Amino acid sequence: MSRVTTATLQEMKAKGVKSTLLTAYDYPTARLLDEAGIDILLVGDSLGNVVLGYENTLPVTMEESLHHTSAVARGAERAMVVGDMPFLSYQTTVADAVWNAGRYLKEAGAHAVKLEGGRERADAVRAMVETGIPVMGHLGLTPQSVHQFGGFRVQGKSEDAARRLIEDAVILEEAGIFSLLLECVPAELAEEVTTDLCIPTLSCGAGPHCSGQVMVLHDMLGFSGGKVPKFVKQYANLHDVIIEALTTFKKEVQEGVFPGPEHCYK
Ligand SMILES: Nc1nc(=O)c2c([nH]1)NC[C@@H]1CN(c3ccc(C(=O)N[C@@H](CCC(=O)O)C(=O)O)cc3)CN21
Ligand SMILES: CC(C)C(=O)C(=O)O
Ligand SMILES: [Mg+2]
């Protein structure tokens, strides 16, 4: 099966075929998502809160992100693997940005990187693209700015904010991004961006009109423990499935049911 590339995603937008992006943080999960035909595996910096137990995405380091990206890349035969650049790995200087972005391709086997922000990141994006690194943009609710936003809030609601977001989208497209992720923005705004841009857009709580849909895997599988954003649909309840297995195991051990003769060596 041939690899999903930036050209594949562009073709899908042209044909009106929706693309799918889910997060993955390890090898077995990457294999499952690949087998299910998910197009893009994002090693999100949501790694921080989802699998490393941090408060938010800010503490995630390049080393942590690369470590998980390598595992995902080893499990993905068809899907495009995208490394989500952590806070402070691309905002300092353009040289830092290119160097760190390059490490995803050179050391971790990713096919592209994602970074948050608009016009203020255009120079970094241009330099990465000139280096041969495909870049996914991310506008709207950009969680690395959570303290600036004062919480996880819907973005682009005022006319002014909406216009600014559309400008940022156009600037990023001109800088060379191959796709744009829109997080937590009104559906009509995401629709307008999708129409204005040639490149595919990906919706994470940005309504149904984008070229593709995005979710954090653990949220949609009911495995992220507790509250999930309103835009998440729960397609399974792994929490309950796992608790059931674990409590049954404990009970069977205590009752002498496990291990049975079939689990023992003569
Ligand atoms: N597990 C997980 N899922 C995510 O979707 C996710 C992460 N982690 N970490 C990074 C960011 C943070 N995200 C979030 C977190 C919370 C809301 C949230 O609670 N939003 C409110 C909207 C409030 C409003 O109306 O302005 C909601 O009720 O959905 C949204 C996105 C999305 N990303
Ligand atoms: C939720 C997506 C957009 C993300 O950036 C992440 O998982 O880190
Ligand atoms: Mg992220």
Task: Give the CA distances from residue 27 to residues 70, 131, 165, 172, 238, in Å, rounded to whole numbers and listed in that order.
Answer: 8, 28, 35, 31, 18
> Measuring from atom 7 of ligand 2, which residue has the nearest CA?
44
Q: What percent of the chain has pLDDT over 90?
A: 98
pLDDT in tens, 206-219: 999 999 999 999 99
Residue 224 Cβ < 6 Å to ligand 1: yes
Looking at the structure, tell me whether residues 87 and 202 fall in a common domain. yes
Neighbouring residues of the ion ligand 3, judged by CB less than 5 Å: 44-45, 84
At residue 117, the 3 state secondary structure works out as strand
Nearest to 85 by CA among 122, 46, 120, 50: 46
Looking at the structure, tell me whether residues 266 and 191 fall in a common domain. no
User: How far is ligand 2, taken at its centre, from the CA of residue 23, in Å?
Assistant: 7
Does pTM top 0.90 for this prediction? Answer: yes
Looking at the structure, tell me whether residues 142 and 256 fall in a common domain. no
The position carrying tokens 């203020």 is 120
Query: Residue 155 domain-assigned?
Result: yes
Nearest to 216 by CA among 129, 152, 131, 135: 152
Looking at the structure, tell me whether residues 230 and 241 fall in a common domain. no
Under the banding of pLDDT at 50, 70 and 90, the label for residue 120 is very high
Output the six-digit token pair for 188: 């009509």
Query: Residue 104 domain-assigned?
Result: yes
Looking at the structure, tell me whether residues 226 and 141 fall in a common domain. yes
Looking at the structure, tell me whether residues 193 and 149 fall in a common domain. yes
Looking at the structure, tell me whether residues 20 and 32 fall in a common domain. yes
Tell me what the pLDDT averaged over the chain comes to: 97
Known binding-site residue numbers for Mg(2+): 45, 84, 116
User: How far is ligand 2, taken at its centre, from the CA of residue 264, in Å?
Assistant: 45
Peptide bond into 259 cis (omega under 30): yes
Looking at the structure, tell me whether residues 149 and 77 fall in a common domain. yes
Output the six-digit token pair for 206: 């940005």
Number of domains in the chain: 2
Nearest to 85 by CA among 112, 107, 109, 106: 112
Query: Which CATH number goes with the domain that contains 33?
Result: 3.20.20.60
Looking at the structure, tell me whether residues 173 and 243 fall in a common domain. no
pLDDT in tens, 145-175: 999 999 999 999 999 999 999 999 999 999 9
Q: How many whole angstroms separate alpha carbon 173 and alpha carbon 107?
A: 27
Looking at the structure, tell me whether residues 185 and 263 fall in a common domain. no
Residue 57 Cβ < 6 Å to ligand 1: yes
Nearest to 115 by CA among 93, 95, 88: 88
Nearest to 51 by CA among 205, 246, 216: 216
At residue 198, the 3 state secondary structure works out as coil
pLDDT in tens, 48-62: 999 999 999 999 999
Q: How many whole angstroms separate alpha carbon 174 and alpha carbon 200?
A: 14
Looking at the structure, tell me whether residues 186 and 255 fall in a common domain. no
Query: Residue 21 domain-assigned?
Result: yes
Nearest to 128 by CA among 167, 89, 164, 165: 89
Query: Residue 245 domain-assigned?
Result: yes
CB neighbourhood size of 254 (10 A): 9
What is the secondary structure of 160-181 as a DSSP string? HHHHHHHHHHHHHHHHT-SEEE
List all residues 6 or more positions away from 206 whose beta carbon is below 8 Å from its beta carbon.
140, 182, 183, 184, 185, 186, 187, 189, 190, 231
User: How far is ligand 2, taken at its centre, from the CA of residue 217, in Å?
Assistant: 10
pLDDT at 40: 99
- Counting from 1 in the atom list of ligand 2, the atom nearest the Cα of 45 is 8
- Per-residue pLDDT, averaged over 131-149, amounts to 98
Query: Residue 1 domain-assigned?
Result: no
Looking at the structure, tell me whether residues 99 and 225 fall in a common domain. yes
Known binding-site residue numbers: 45-46, 84, 114, 116
Output the six-digit token pair for 143: 């969680």
Tell me the ligand closest to 25's alpha carbon: 2
Q: Residue 101: give the domain boundaries.
A: 6-235
Cβ pair 72, 25 in contact under 8 A: yes
